[in-house]
Amino acid sequence: MSVSASYFEHLFAHSDDPWAFRTRWYEKRKRELLLASLPRQYYGRVFEPACANGELSAALAERCESLLCQDLNATAVQLAGERLRPWPNAEVTQGCLPGDWPAGEFELIVLSEIGYYLDPGQWLEVLERATASLSADGALLLCHWLHPIDGCPQTGHQVHEPVAERLPLYRSLRHEEADFLLEYWCLQPCAIDLDEPCL
């Protein structure tokens, strides 16, 4: 992680929701768009690093068999654990990417609001590890703020560029607004399963 751990410690020392995930309409709307962009109603094993206080995690837990969340910050891990208590299929661990990459395969890896905190080399390693961890029908979902962030080594656009340029993935969705970019990339060509029953 290029941005120091103390950066996040300072944020969580002053608020249990430093990005206002629970209260800002922008965050709620973006979260709903992200969830609606998933072409499958239900996934097997899902990984969400940089889970923060677990607001997106709670929604993901309803859409999968098993959810592994991770965050660098101990307070975030505690808050996410409390938020996810109603979902026994969810686990929260503390770790720092790219080094603390979990073992096993995932059907979905959600890389949301994380890439610009890493330098380009670290971020490429995360993307390569993510791709290598996908199951045969697995996918990556990326979502990032597009405006510059003080102290961060990359912008949202820079974070998304290496996926198209360096990874053997197929893009099935791209949604860009003035404030954020959302993309869904598959290991194999993928589309919405029109015959999947609604749970």
State residue 172's pLDDT score. Answer: 95
Q: What is the pTM of this model?
A: 0.90
pLDDT tens digits, one per residue of 40-65:
999 999 999 999 889 999 999 999 99
Assign 198 a pLDDT band (cuts: 50, 70, 90): confident
pLDDT tens digits, one per residue of 143-173:
999 998 888 899 999 999 999 999 999 999 9
Taking residues 33-44, report their average pLDDT: 96
Instruction: Pick 82 or 6 by higher pLDDT.
Output: 82
State residue 81's pLDDT score. Answer: 96
Secondary structure (3-state) at 51: coil
Distances from the Cα of 34 to the Cα of 17, 75, 76, 83, 187, angstroms: 19, 25, 21, 19, 19
Q: Would residue 48 be called left, alpha or beta, if left means φ above 0 and alpha means ψ between -120 and 50 degrees?
A: beta
Q: Is the pLDDT of residue 103 over 80?
A: yes
**Spatial separation of the C-alpha atoms in residues 55 and 60, rounded to whole Å:** 9
Instruction: Pick 24 or 112 by higher pLDDT.
Output: 112
**Spatial separation of the C-alpha atoms in residues 50 and 178, rounded to whole Å:** 23
Taking residues 118-138, report their average pLDDT: 96
Q: Is the pLDDT of residue 10 over 60?
A: no
State residue 190's pLDDT score. Answer: 82
State residue 150's pLDDT score. Answer: 85
Instruction: Pick 50 or 9 by higher pLDDT.
Output: 50
Cis status of the peptide bond prior to 98, with omega within 30 of 0: yes
Assign 9 a pLDDT band (cuts: 50, 70, 90): low
Fill in the DSSP letter of residue 174: E
**Any idea which architecture 5-186 has in CATH?**
3-Layer(aba) Sandwich (3.40)
* Domains of the chain by residue range: 5-186
**Spatial separation of the C-alpha atoms in residues 36 and 168, rounded to whole Å:** 24
Q: Is the pLDDT of residue 34 over 60?
A: yes
For residue 151, what are its two tokens?
């102290």
The rounded radius of gyration (Å) of the Cα atoms in the chain is 16
Q: Is the pLDDT of residue 28 over 80?
A: yes
**Spatial separation of the C-alpha atoms in residues 7 and 19, rounded to whole Å:** 13
Buried-exposed string 131-141: b where 16+ CB fall within 10 A, e elsewhere: bebbeeebbbb
Taking residues 177-193, report their average pLDDT: 90
